[in-house]
Amino acid sequence: MIESLKMNITTFIKRYSLLLVAVAFVVACDHAPPPTPASEVTPVMAANTASSKRVAQSKTPGVVIRESSIQSINDLEVEQTDGKKFKFANLKGKVILVDVWATWCGPCREQTPKLAALQQKYREKGLAVVGLSLDEKSDQALVQDFMKQAGVNYPIAYASDKMSGAFLDGTEDETGSAPIPQLFVISKDGRVVEHLIGSDPRHSIARLEEVISKELN
In order of their start, the domains of the chain are: 32-216 (3.40.30.10)
d(CA 39, CA 23): 20
1 vs 108, higher pLDDT: 108
Report the C-alpha gap between 190 and 174 in whole angstroms: 30
**Contact between residue 173 and residue 59 where contact means Cβ atoms under 8 Å apart:** yes
Is 80 exceeded by the pLDDT of residue 68? no
Under the banding of pLDDT at 50, 70 and 90, the label for residue 67 is: low
pLDDT at 178 over 80: yes
User: For residues 163 and 70, which has the higher predicted lDDT (pLDDT)?
Assistant: 163
d(CA 68, CA 85): 22
pLDDT of 65 reads 53
- At residue 63 the predicted structure's pLDDT band, cuts being 50, 70 and 90, is very low
Between residues 41 and 94, which one has the greater pLDDT? 94
* For range 40-69, the mean pLDDT: 42
Q: Which residues contact 215 (CB under 8 A, 6 or more apart)?
A: 95, 185, 187, 188, 193
- How many angstroms separate the CA atoms of 64 and 195, rounded? 6
Q: What average pLDDT is seen over the chain?
A: 75
User: What is the rounded average pLDDT of the residues 73-89?
Assistant: 89
**Does the pLDDT value for residue 25 go beyond 50?**
no
Percentage of the chain with pLDDT > 70?
65
Helix (H) or strand (E) holding 30: helix 2-31
User: How many CB atoms sit inside 10 A of residue 35's CB?
Assistant: 12
Task: Read off the pLDDT of each residue in 89-118 and give the average, rounded to a whole number.
Answer: 94
Calculate the CA 55 to chain-centre distance.
18
For the stretch 127-171, pLDDT in tens is 999 999 999 999 999 999 999 999 999 999 999 888 888 899 888
pLDDT band at 183 (very low <50, low <70, confident <90, very high): very high
Q: What is the pLDDT of residue 28?
A: 25
d(CA 94, CA 125): 9
The Cα–Cα gap between 214 and 208 comes to 10
